[in-house]
Structure 1
Amino acid sequence: MLFLLLGLILSGLKYLEMTQVATWPWYVVLAPFGLAVLWWSWADWSGYTKRKAVEKEEARKKARIEKSRDNLGLTPASRRKR
C-alpha cells in the first residue's frame, strides 16, 4: 500500500509540474506502481497474504471465545474484566 501511495503522490507532482519531480523521467515516477505489483505478486505466491488473514481470523475467534466465557462466568474471578 505504501508503494501505491508513493506512486500516486509522485504522479500527481509530475503531472502538476511541481517541485523537483517535474524534471524526473516518467519511468522513475511510475516505478512505485511496478514495485507494488511485485510486492502483491510475491505476497500471494509466498502465502504471506493468506497467513496474515488466518492470523487475524484466529485472533478474532479467540477474543470472541474469551468474551463468551466472561459473559457466562466461566473464567476465574481474577481474570474477569470489570
Structure 2
Amino acid sequence: MTNLFQPGVSGNSQGRPKTAKSIRRDTLRTLRLSAGPLVDRAVAMALAGDSLAILGCMTLLASGYGEVPAKPAKSDVADVPIVG
C-alpha cells in the first residue's frame, strides 16, 4: 500500500480561509483603534453643519458611545447549589 501523503507536509499551504466571524472581529478591532480620530472628524463635520455627520453623532450618543460601562451586578446564581 502506498502512502498518498508525505509525512510532515501540510496539504493546505495557505491555511484556513478567513470566516465572516474573524473578518468581523478584525474589522471591529481596527475600528476601535481608530475610533477617536473618526469621532473627532465626525464632530467637526457636524459642527460645520453637515447633516449626515450630525445624524451620525446623534446615533453614537444615543447608543451610549463613550460612556463607561456599568459594573455588572453581583449575581446570586453562584450561590445556588447545582442539583443533578
Q: Report the TM-score, using the length of structure 1 for normalisation.
A: 0.29
Larger Rg: 2
Q: Report the TM-score, using the length of structure 2 for normalisation.
A: 0.28
Q: Which has the higher contact order (CA 8 A, sep 6+)?
A: 1
More helix as a share of residues: 1
